[in-house]
Amino acid sequence: MTRIDFDVFYRSSLNGSARLEEAPWDGADPHGGLVAIQDEGGICSPVLEVGCGSGDNAVHLARHGHRVVAVDASPTAVAKAVLRAREARVPVDFRVEDATRIDASVGDFSTIVDIAHFHRLGDPERSLYLKALHAVSHPGTWLVLLSLSDRVPHSAPGPHRLSEYELRTSLSAAGWWVRSMRVSALGTPSSAGSDPAWLVEAERL
């Protein structure tokens, strides 16, 4: 799987040249599945969001009183996220970080949030990523992860769609116990919003 430079999309959107379908993840609202988990009391501080994009999920969690660190590999996305948090008047520590090499100095988190990031990684990168999460978590840390599912043909455009088996196997091998896996969707206001996804809640062993 070829790694995509997502900063290109964010820079283009700043110049007004990106179409919504080119960056369907860049919405202005938090993901509905994450909102529901937050409302159910399933998020505990401190929180790390990986692949935060322009900060909609991180800002939502901060509005609900959580201490949030949010990272993304795109400097442009992080700059947009900082502005979004400033406009919302909530404190979020946004950082430019490669998810496969997260600096352990960012902290030790009780909840890790990954909304539509995991499925964009190739097989070797997924292993590095899950290893990196261990450096910033502890036994009992909760993982909330949204990933495109294989309920659409693999020939469809976009990132690799993961099966339930692939997700469970990857997480289990990395020391995460899958407590819940439910059918969800990307949930963006674009045509890609109907893409089926898995919403996973897992606990680090």
Sign of CA dihedral 168, 171, 174, 179: negative
Q: What percent of the chain has pLDDT over 70?
A: 79
CATH fit for domain 27-204, picks 3.90.79.10, 3.40.50.150, 3.10.28.10, 3.20.19.10: 3.40.50.150
pLDDT at residue 16 tops 70: no
Q: How many CB atoms lie within 10 A of CB 155?
A: 5
Residue spans of the domains in the chain: they are: 27-204
Q: In the numeric block, which tokens belong to residue 70?
A: 């949010």
Q: Which of 142, 143, 145, 149 is nearest to 183 (CA)?
A: 149
Residue 35: the pLDDT is 96
Residue 95 DSSP SS3 = strand
Give the lowest-confidence range in 10-19, 36-45, 118-127, 133-142: 10-19
Using one digit for the tens of pLDDT, what is the confidence trace for 88-121? 999 999 999 999 999 899 999 999 999 999 998 9
At 150, is the pLDDT very low, low, confident or very high (cuts 50, 70, 90)?
confident
CA–CA separation, 37 vs 50, rounded Å? 17
pLDDT at residue 8 tops 90: no
Provide the β-strand partners of residue 196.
Answer: 185
Q: Which of 141, 194, 202 is nearest to 167 (CA)?
A: 202
| Residue scoring higher pLDDT (92 or 23) | 92
pLDDT at residue 197 tops 50: yes
CA dihedral 183→188→189→190, nearest 10 degrees, is -90
At 7, is the pLDDT very low, low, confident or very high (cuts 50, 70, 90)?
low
Over residues 160-181, the mean pLDDT reads 95
Residue 151: the pLDDT is 80
Task: Name, in order, each residue with C-beta under 8 angstroms of 83's C-beta and a sequence gap of 6 or more.
Answer: none
Over residues 65-91, the mean pLDDT reads 96
pLDDT at residue 194 tops 80: no
pLDDT at residue 66 tops 50: yes
